[in-house]
Chain A
Amino acid sequence: MRGTRGVVPTVRMIGRSVEEENYVQRAATALMVVVAMLILWVDDSAHAVTIGFDPSAATIASGGSLPLNLQATGLGGTPTSVIGGFDLFVSWDPAVLNFNAATLGSALGTIPAQAITAITPTTASVELFENSLLDPTSLAALQNGTAVLANLSWNVLTAQTSQVSISGLVSDALGNALSVQFQSAQLIPVPEPDTALLFVFGFLGFVVMKFKQG
């Protein structure tokens, strides 16, 4: 069809020349691109702050330990784009992990002089609470870009695929709810030694069989 651009539907207007039609379609395409970009931009700005783990994926082995940093990214350095307080729940599969310890970072001020804190663990989750006592301007100066909110560690009970997830409520420096995107940490088991050995033997057998057939 003449003048079609991508997925933009074409409607031939009566009495309109081909050049005019092309012009209209180009304009429509440009408009749609702009709208799409705007939507993406709005969507992105709505989740400018992300709270996740560093590393975002980790291999675990039975009997080993798992350290993860809970960190926020996308902090803007203004009172409405930084964290003034949080009440977060970090949860995991208790068959896989056994909570060991957690310490809160200094992104909201030094502890205990400049923040109210609480760490409340259970078998399958830990609540991390912190409210900064700093004024908005000081907080904005303290947080720009990435900030570590807490350091956590677990003992690995069973190495199997799992994840550590986050939920909760975050306040900006002015006491408003901050729009945050939470990202879980993916846990991948390290292969057991006997499993690896079986894999090697199987591979060798496959090679030998191919050699004989050849």
Chain B
Amino acid sequence: MISKAARLSGAACATLAALAASPAAATFTKVTTGDIVTIPAWYWNGCWGDYDNDGWLDLFVGSDDRSTTNYLYHNNHDGTFTLIDQAAMPKEPSKQHGCAWGDYDNDGHLDLIVTGGAGTFHNMLYHNNGDGTFSWVTDGPIYTETNVHGFHGPSWADYDNDGFLDLFIAGHDVLNRLFHNQGDGTFTRITTNTIVNDPGDSECRGFVDYDNDGNLDLFVGNTDSHPNFLYRGDGHGNFTSVTDSGLSNAEGTWACAWADYDNDGWPDLLLANGPNKNSLYHNNRDGTFTNVTESTGLMEATSPNDNFSAVAWGDYDNDGFIDLFVATGNCYPDPNNCVLRPNLLYHNEGDGTFKKVTEGPVVNDLVTQCPGASWGDYDNDGFLDLFVSQGSAWPTPQTNLLYHNDGNANAWLNVKLVGTRSNRSAIGAKVRVKAFYRGASRWQLRAVSGGDSQSNQQPLSAEFGLADATIIDTVRVEWPSGIVQELHSVTPRQFLTITEPPTQPEAVCDVNNDGIVNRVDIQLIANARGTPAVGPNDPRDADHDGMITVLDDRLCTLQCTYELCASTPPSQTQGCGMLGAEPACAVALLLWLRQRNQRQFSSRVTTTQIH
């Protein structure tokens, strides 16, 4: 069920571990050779995705040049990319204002949606044939739907939890679009859902479970004096418009992205607005958000004609706190009155604040318009590299920017998920990692996203920085299907592939079958030490050797639901006070809610040590 990817960077582990005692900076080297950074065009976006399943990230870059050239770059595994043969991915003239990878037919091969932008251009849904070529899907509403104002960022998300990816597209001055996946390779347009009936000028979108109830929610950012939209999902395809969360402001939002920047287990939201500021909203864990832009050091001024245009979260120095890249230079409303400006990189200091990075090419290259930005570890060294698209509506075509991360000694983990009951791409899944680093035990959260920012998509894998951690106590996957899966004592510095079990794993260690593993179970196993197991599925025989021993007791201790095998969540035993005030409270709360509401979720997870 769980397999370990072949690539483990073991050779350098000992040396790196010795050097990883303290946080270390990471620098970037600008890539200056290759088609990927030398072909000029009016680029809009960049989407990392391993379309040929070779274990290396490839890159699609959308262009506004209305040509018949598709910029899909195949990763050559040596730090270089090759522009694919155009016959492998046919294109008609289009403006390509958004892209997103997702396996909509669950066949194991990533498909691609590219939105048509403004005008009468069609959206292009590319079906991956599995042999390095793509078929353009021209029947159905995704292709036939056009509008003169434009379609921007697309997002894949299984909004009704039927196991198939649906498609949401942000509309510029038109209603947003939602296409339901029928499960047979076709889509139908949904017109009755709340999320496609609020008039706005939507430039960005991002699905996330912001209230940790296990269901996908949706944020949509608008420009031109329209308020932003927040919708709360019920997991069955129904959404409720939320207007009292603190997010429904008119901010001129061009890009948006969710991330748990303070490692409290709850996703926070960054808005790239125009002109004059970013907005960082801290999740108050009660359904509301607080604007913390100024106190966190992210307030940034631009000229009136400049807007922030893209945002990408990524822990580029692997210190265990996610950092932030914000692209600038989105000239609006006057594209003929633009100035060259540098992009912005903020280092997460780990104390709830950010520090602006001032050195290196990422923040010193003067750029034109950069509506696309995406972190991706294209050379599989465990460190996030950065792609920034450039051009969009600039008077002259521009070349893209690719920055290679030079790395440091910090530990990391890269998790790829394969859904079985959930959609195969695992979009909407949450990965939580618990490890001891920088002097404390911390949880981190990553959500697998089907598209965010203005028109981009981050890789479908979850990247974690782990600083000086030598072992990862817990890797927990919360699948869209509701299955919760855990691994324990995982070695850092590896690429890990986790496949969703077809059913909730059997309840090993839950001796009294009450839905959690706690001290009662550990005591029962201890009481039975030295006796033979009763049958092959005796929950007390964790190592399945036929005898109940101290080894079983210890193995089950590692699977305890709560810290120290307590019977109640930390919020009740460790003085969480406010809901989720401790770092582990969010996880505990989720588990507690599931145990209370659904027997399925209360069944204890079998964990498998990866070897």
Contacts and interface: CB of A to CB of B under 8 A. Distances in A.
A123 interface: no
A104 to B, nearest CB: 13
Interface stretch (B30-38, B384-392, B519-527, B597-605): B519-527
A133 to B, nearest CB: 5
Contacts of A138: 436
A132 B436 CA distance: 18
A86 B563 CA distance: 21
B76 interface: no
Contacts of B558: 135-136, 174-175
A85 B526 CA distance: 11
Interface in B532-553: 542-543, 549-553
Contacts of A84: 554, 557
Contacts of A118: 526
B564 A134 contact: yes
Given A87-B549, A87-B550, A133 B560 contact: yes
A137 interface: yes
Contact of A137 (B473, B542, B560): B473
B582 to A, nearest CB: 15
B459 to A, nearest CB: 28
A107 to B, nearest CB: 14
B529 A129 contact: yes
Nearest to B434: A135
Interface in A123-156: 129, 131-138
Contacts of A177: 551
B550 A171 contact: yes
Contacts of B552: 175
A147 B549 CA distance: 22
B554 A171 contact: yes
Contact of B550 (A131, A133, A173, A174): A131
Contacts of B563: 135
A177 B549 CA distance: 10
Nearest to B559: A175
B489 interface: yes
B441 A137 contact: yes
A136 to B, nearest CB: 6
Nearest to A78: B470
B555 interface: yes
A116 interface: yes
B551 A116 contact: no
B402 interface: no
A185 B605 CA distance: 44
Contacts of A173: 554
A171 B529 contact: no
B489 A174 contact: yes
Interface string B110-139: 000000000000000000000000000000
A57 interface: no
A178 to B, nearest CB: 9
Interface in A91-137: 113-114, 116, 118, 129, 131-137
Interface of A: 78-79, 84-87, 113-114, 116, 118, 129, 131-138, 169-177
30 contacts: A78-B470, A84-B554, A85-B550, A85-B553, A85-B554, A87-B529, A113-B564, A114-B564, A116-B519, A116-B523, A116-B553, A129-B529, A131-B522, A131-B550, A131-B553, A131-B554, A131-B557, A135-B563, A136-B473, A137-B435, A137-B470, A169-B551, A170-B550, A171-B553, A173-B554, A174-B554, A175-B542, A175-B554, A175-B557, A177-B551
Query: Can you list the 9 inter-chain pairs with the closest CB atoms, starting with the nearest?
Result: A175-B555, A137-B436, A171-B554, A87-B550, A175-B554, A85-B554, A85-B550, A131-B553, A84-B554
